[in-house]
Structure 1
Amino acid sequence: MISNEDIIKLQLIDGLGRKSISKILSYIYSKNLKLNNFSEIVKLLNSIGIRKVHIDINKIEQEALSVIESCKKAKLKIIGIYDKEYPRKLRIIEDKPLLLYVDGDENLLNQDNNIAIVGTRNPSQQGYEISSIFAEKLTEEQCCIVSGLASGCDEAAHYGCLQANGKTVAVIPSGHLYARKANKVLYNRIILSGGAIVSELPPNLRSQSYTFIDRNRIIAAISDGVIVIEGGQKGGTSHTVRFASSYNKPVAYTISNHLNIVQTSLSNNNIEIIDSFEKLVEFKNKICEKGA
């Protein structure tokens, strides 16, 4: 079986992306190949026609060791696709993360009643308050709030959950060290409250434009439903909604959203409008029933 360390090394090969690595791992698994070290994996890449010039094995092994040491120093867990701890909700999606780096309680990724609250980084005052209040109310209903640790609606959702003494999951588009620098107070409160901060990137990697989209597929996958506070027609929130729809996850908009944004999304029959606590609880109860 390919180890997590070997997957890290594969990810360090220039030009070898997540989908290509997934195909390689599937090939190894289907053929039940026994590969004893990374050099044998590199030979396999050449034998099956994956052309990668100038693979410096020693350099990659040193870089992989650096990643592992950084995780140990930051007390991050590395959970690979073949580990029993790997979240079942991620295992069933097509473009699943190969590795997860987790600070905090990884068990939250597997539990039911995870609800994502997402929205723009620049909400109105009403939108910010709704995000916080809805998160607080859902936490009182025994839900775990999932969001992206960004400013605006995400931040408000995390804080609302913490205000109700709940546990929240933040899925981040960078390595943990950069997320901690960007919002150290919220990061630490999430961990100290028993929550989790998750990334598919090693701790020392910065975010890039595509990693925000990648992050949003994880938010949608580990959640049982998604609530959009403000935004959603374009930008990161729209990607979260699109992923949720493709995973057949219920999506709800709040009344603070513009009507035309909602109308453009009504092609998905799972989309609802939440304009009261009663409808919020109804949405939560429907998710609970679906997950039961």
Structure 2
Amino acid sequence: MISNEDIIRLQLVNGLGRKTISKILKFMEAKKANLKNFSDVEKFIKDMGIKKVKIDLEKIESEAAAILDCCRKSNIKIISIYDGEYPRKLHQIEDKPLILYADGNLDLLNNECNIAIVGTRTPSQEGYEISSIFAEKLTEGRCCIVSGFASGCDESAHNGCLAAKGQTIAVIPSGHLYSMKNNKSLYNMIILNGGAIISELPPNAKSEKNAFVNRNQIIAALSEGIIVIEGGLKGGTSNTVKFANAYNKPVAYTANVTSCIGQTSIFNNNIEVIDSFDKLKNFKNKSCKIMLDKACSQ
């Protein structure tokens, strides 16, 4: 079995993306390859005949060592698809993250009542307040709030959960240390209150080209239901909704969003509108029941 460290080294190879690495790993499993070090991995890749791959062993080893050292010093855990701690909800999706970097309470990733609250970075005052209030109410109903750690609706959702002394999951589009620089106070509060912060990228990494889309995919996969506070037809909010639809996760809008012309066109199913605490409770109960029904059927 390939080690987590060697998967990280594979990710550092110029010309290898997530899908190609996934194919390599599946081929290794099929061949029951006995790989003792990364030199064995390199030979295996060459034997597969994968083109346009440049492997600079010295550079890869230096970068990998820096990542591993940073994770050790920062107490950031490295979880691969082969680890028992890898979230079962992510195992169920295609094109899953191969490596997760995690800080905090990893048990939350398998929680059976995670509700995502997402929306624009520049919400109206009403939207900002709704995000916080909904998060607080859901937390009082024993939900874990999932969001993306961005300013605006995400930040408000995390803070609403924390105000109710709850646990929240932040899925970040950059490395932990890089995100901490942008909002150290919120980062520390999430961890101190028993929450979790996860990323596909190593601690010091800035956001990459596809990082925000990948972040939104994880948010949708980890959550039983998704609530859109405010957001447009383009950008992160719409991507999260599209992933939720693909994963058959319930999605709801707030009343002030559905009044916007064209906002509802990204839905492939019936639109649920939350305009009261009773409807919020019903949405939570329905979303979490679907998760429990799936768990029982398995």
Tell me the TM-score normalised to structure 1 length.
0.97
Please name the residue that 2:26 is paired with. Answer: 26
Please name the residue that 1:131 is paired with. Answer: 131
Please name the residue that 1:119 is paired with. Answer: 119
Change (3 A) 1:245 1:232: farther
One-letter identity of the residue aligned with 2:183: N
CA RMSD of aligned residues (A): 1.1
**Alpha-carbon separation, structure 1, partners of 2:254 and 2:88:** 29
Alignment: residue pair count = 291
Maintained 8 Å contact 2:220/2:240: yes
Change (3 A) 1:266 1:204: closer
Maintained 8 Å contact 2:15/2:54: no
One-letter identity of the residue aligned with 1:142: R
Alignment partner of 1:170: what SS? strand
**Alpha-carbon separation, structure 2, partners of 1:261 and 1:104:** 39
Please name the residue that 1:71 is paired with. Answer: 71
Alignment partner of 2:100: what SS? strand
Offset from partner CA, 1:50-71 (integer Å, 9 cap, x none): 1345422122122111101000
Pair 1:94-2:94 in alignment:
yes
Maintained 8 Å contact 1:78/1:101: yes
**1:36, distance to aligned residue in structure 2 (A):** 1.2
Percent of matched pairs sharing the same residue: 64
Please name the residue that 2:227 is paired with. Answer: 227
Please name the residue that 1:146 is paired with. Answer: 146
- Aligned runs of 1:141-220 on 2, under 5 Å? 141-220=141-220
**1:124, distance to aligned residue in structure 2 (A):** 0.2
**1:225, distance to aligned residue in structure 2 (A):** 0.6
One-letter identity of the residue aligned with 2:187: Y
**Alpha-carbon separation, structure 1, partners of 2:169 and 2:38:** 34
**1:289, distance to aligned residue in structure 2 (A):** 1.3
Alignment partner of 1:257: what SS? helix
**Alpha-carbon separation, structure 2, partners of 1:263 and 1:288:** 23
**Alpha-carbon separation, structure 2, partners of 1:145 and 1:263:** 23
- Aligned runs of 1:13-52 on 2, under 5 Å? 13-52=13-52
**1:262, distance to aligned residue in structure 2 (A):** 4.1
Alignment partner of 1:256: what SS? helix
Please name the residue that 1:263 is paired with. Answer: 264
Stretches of structure 1 lacking an aligned partner (at least 5 in a row): none
Change (3 A) 1:161 1:261: farther
**Alpha-carbon separation, structure 2, partners of 1:32 and 1:127:** 53
**1:191, distance to aligned residue in structure 2 (A):** 0.5
One-letter identity of the residue aligned with 2:150: A
Maintained 8 Å contact 2:245/2:267: no
